[in-house]
Structure 1
């Protein structure tokens, strides 16, 4: 019969043994040292000079002095002496100065984090994951970096997201206070979309890219085309705002058919164009001219045009086109004038259009 236990090597009290308390106390010391094993350090080869009773260490390779030959063993200071506790496979030890849990695998102390994590149902980093968010992370920064060629990688990095069918959603949700403010991805189709929201329920597409041909659409881009359905009479030498009381399209409602003004919703560079068709009043000798005016005050440089010579009623036309930098709130209007004789700017064929281009 062995005189010690199989796993922890605790000494048995033998039959007819004298001073049984000595053996019993020795077993208690070993138990006290091993149960809930936590060591101060695992990097020392020399015993510390003034250990406290109960201090424990894992002896580093190359132990000397009282620890000579104790490499990777647990050293326990108890009752004024060092007690050697040889580790067995499966022992676990908390390393206090590293906040690290290790396990003895029969050859050395190794980390308890597995080499691979597979088929985990929940994973929370700094927070608790749940069924709705099986992977959850609460942190201030995250880094993805490519494995370099020197490390055996390719130097590339791809982050792949996949959805089951075209009609499903796939994307990033950007929130403030858990209220969605922007969506980026493939929503309800395979077209790439960027949409924004003021409240998490109403969304506006700012950018759509057709995956079939790469054509880019900006549904909320300020753009309009306005036209008149009546003849605008203009006197001689009288710059007059043309009444454009209809819109063919008017994204963002930037053109007001009531005031005949385009108002820039945001700062940017805008492209404008206009077509004006002459209609005779009393004489075809009229000199038709037109311009675009900023904020009702100044002519936009490059927008002025004039047609001289005798006109043909409802056949002579004038075209304007120019580009201008606007600030949010700036207005643009179309003005017409006649020299020599008065006339009309004809219905249906007199129009103004504009679009933000940058």
Structure 2
């Protein structure tokens, strides 16, 4: 029998003569909706700590409990009818709203870090510092790094 889902994100596919095609089609659109510019409300391990609205999603922290148990590192999206879980792929990037920055999946979710601008040293190269400050500012503007201290 043919596999009736996509290889990467397990999005349901339709089959000829399939009954209730609208259910599979709607499930596929729901997953796609969570995957296009993925944005999460935070990182959480217990869904009972939140009151989700349809379309909101969270990164499932390690050691997840209740309905999220067994879905560590997945994106959990609330559909209004229940949770949809999406397994991450290497180098997948999601925007974390409360942090106003991104996390990248490298075996586990790696949130952006804060890096302080250079401020001390026995020899000060002002041109090098200006270049480093510009690079850091560009990385912060893209959400790759958090603003320095």
In 2, distance between residues paired with 1:31 and 1:6? 14
2:42 alignment counterpart: 41
Deviation of the 1:10 alpha carbon: 0.7
In 1, distance between residues paired with 2:54 and 2:42? 15
1:144 matched to 2:145? The reply is no
The structure number with the bigger radius of gyration is 1
TM-score by length of 2: 0.73
Write 1 or 2 for the structure with the bigger share of helix.
2
Deviation of the 1:2 alpha carbon: 2.1
2:15 alignment counterpart: 14
Deviation of the 1:7 alpha carbon: 1.8
For the residue of structure 2 that corresponds to 1:18, the secondary structure is coil
2:122 alignment counterpart: 158
Matches within 5 A, 1:48-59: 48-59=49-60
Deviation of the 1:90 alpha carbon: 2.5
In 2, distance between residues paired with 1:24 and 1:143? 52
After superposition, give the CA deviation of every residue in 1:117-168 in whole Å (9 maximum; x if it has no partner): xxxxxxxxxxxxxxxxxxxxxxxxx7624xxxxxxxxxxx32255xxxxxxx
1:101 matched to 2:118? The reply is no
Deviation of the 1:111 alpha carbon: 4.4
1:215 alignment counterpart: none
Matches within 5 A, 1:267-286: none
In 2, distance between residues paired with 1:9 and 1:72? 16
Deviation of the 1:8 alpha carbon: 2.0
In 2, distance between residues paired with 1:53 and 1:60? 20
Aligned-pair RMSD on alpha carbons?
2.3
Deviation of the 1:112 alpha carbon: 6.1
User: Relative CO higher for 1 or 2, CA cutoff 8 Å, sep ≥ 6?
Assistant: 2
Matches within 5 A, 1:1-358: 1-42=2-43, 44-47=44-47, 48-105=49-106, 107-111=107-111, 144-145=119-120, 157-161=121-125
For the residue of structure 1 that corresponds to 2:84, the secondary structure is strand
In 2, distance between residues paired with 1:61 and 1:38? 19
Aligned length in residues = 122
Q: Structure 1: which 5+ residue stretches go unaligned? A: 114-141, 146-156, 162-358
TM-score by length of 1: 0.32
Cα 1:143–1:112 change in 2 (3 A) is: closer
Q: Which segments of structure 1 move beyond 4 Å, counting only runs of 4 or more?
A: none
In 1, distance between residues paired with 2:104 and 2:90? 8
Deviation of the 1:80 alpha carbon: 2.5
Q: Structure 2: which 5+ residue stretches go unaligned? A: 126-149
After superposition, give the CA deviation of every residue in 1:217-248 in whole Å (9 maximum; x if it has no partner): xxxxxxxxxxxxxxxxxxxxxxxxxxxxxxxx
In 1, distance between residues paired with 2:118 and 2:10? 48
